[in-house]
Amino acid sequence: MKQFFLTFPLLFSFLFFFQCTPALSQSPAPAPAPPALVPAPPALSPASSGSTDVTAILGKVGHFATFIRLLKASQLADQLNTQLYKSNQGLTVFAPTDAAFANLKSGTLNSLTDQQKYQLVQFHVLPSFFSVSQFQTASNPLRTQAGGSDGQFPLNVTTTGNQVNITTDMVNATVTDTVYTDRQLAVYEVDKVLLPHGLFVPPPPPPTAPLKSKQRPASESTQSNDTPHVQVDTSSGIQLSQHALRATSSIFLVLAAFI
C-alpha cells in the first residue's frame, strides 16, 4: 500500500507529460495570407472611353498652340468632343501648325471678327471620318463644318500617291503628317492655314429695285395766266413775247388811221 502511494505521483506525472508533448511539438499555425490585390482595369483609349479630346490629342504633339487657342476661344473644342461622342460618322480635322499661322500676313487673324474666327476653325473640320485612302475617292468640293458646297467655303482634296493636297480659293496646302486616327477621328497636320475667300471679301449686296421717276404735279405742269407765252415766228426765227405783239398791233392800228 505504501508502495502504491509512491508510484502514483510518478505515473500521473508521466501521463501529464505524455499528453502535453504533442501539443508542444506542433508548430504555431501560420498567419492568414493577405487578400489578393484585384488588378486595376486597363486604361481605356480616348476612342473606347467615349471621351475623345481633340485639344488633348493636339497638345501632346506640341506645335499646335495657336490652333488649340482658337478651338478653345471659339468653344468649338467642346462641340467637337460632344459630336464625336454622339455621332457615328466621325470627324476629320486639318490642324495647321504654329509655323503655318506665323506665315500668315501680319494682322490676318486680328482682322477677323469672333464669328469669322469661329467659321475659320470650322472650315478646318470635315463632319465625317476620312482616312488617307478615302481621300482618293472623295467627291469635291468637300462639305466642311463651316458650310456646304455653296461656293463661299470651297474645299477640294486631291491625292498624288500617298500625298494629300488641299485647295481652297486662296490657299494650296499639303498634309504633312497623320497626328491621330482611330477609325472615328482623324487629325492631320497641314503646312498652311486653310483660308476661304468668303471670310475676307463680303458678299455682293442684293440688287436694288430701280428708282421710279417722280411725276410732276399738275400745278407745276400747267402754266399760270400770268406767265407770258412765247410765240415763235417760224419765218424769221424771232421770238416775240405777248406784250411785244400787243404793242406792235397798236402801232399798225395808228398807222392805218392816218392812211
Confidence of residue 103 (pLDDT cuts 50, 70, 90): very high
Residue 209 forms part of a structural domain: no
Residue 90 forms part of a structural domain: yes
Residue 58 forms part of a structural domain: yes
Give the dihedral of Cα atoms 106, 146, 166, 102; nearest 10 deg: 20
State the total domains in the chain: 1
How far apart are alpha carbons 189 and 96 in whole angstroms?
A: 6
CB contact at 8 A, 123 and 153: yes
CB contact at 8 A, 95 and 189: yes
How far apart are alpha carbons 69 and 133 in whole angstroms?
A: 30
Confidence of residue 73 (pLDDT cuts 50, 70, 90): very high
pLDDT-above-70 percentage for the chain: 56
* DSSP, res 144: B
Residue 10 forms part of a structural domain: no
How far apart are alpha carbons 132 and 162 in whole angstroms?
A: 7
Confidence check: pLDDT of 240 > 80: no
Secondary structure class of 216 (helix, strand, coil): coil
What digits encode the pLDDT tens for the residues 138-168? 999 999 999 765 567 889 999 998 899 999 9
What digits encode the pLDDT tens for the residues 39-49? 333 333 343 34
Q: Rg of the Cα trace of the chain? A: 51
Residue 116 forms part of a structural domain: yes
Residue 20 forms part of a structural domain: no
**Helix (H) or strand (E) segment spanning residue 122:** helix 114-122
Q: Which residue has the higher pLDDT, 209 or 78?
A: 78
Query: Is 0.95 surpassed by the pTM of this model?
Result: no
Residue 250 forms part of a structural domain: no
Confidence check: pLDDT of 251 > 50: yes
Residue 198's pLDDT is 84
How many C-beta atoms surround the C-beta of residue 133 within 10 A? 9
CB contact at 8 A, 165 and 157: yes
Residue 39's pLDDT is 39
Residue 247 forms part of a structural domain: no
Cell numbers representing residue 206 in the block: 442684293
How far apart are alpha carbons 93 and 115 in whole angstroms?
A: 19
- The CATH number assigned to the domain holding 57 equals 2.30.180.10
The whole domain housing 54 covers 49-197
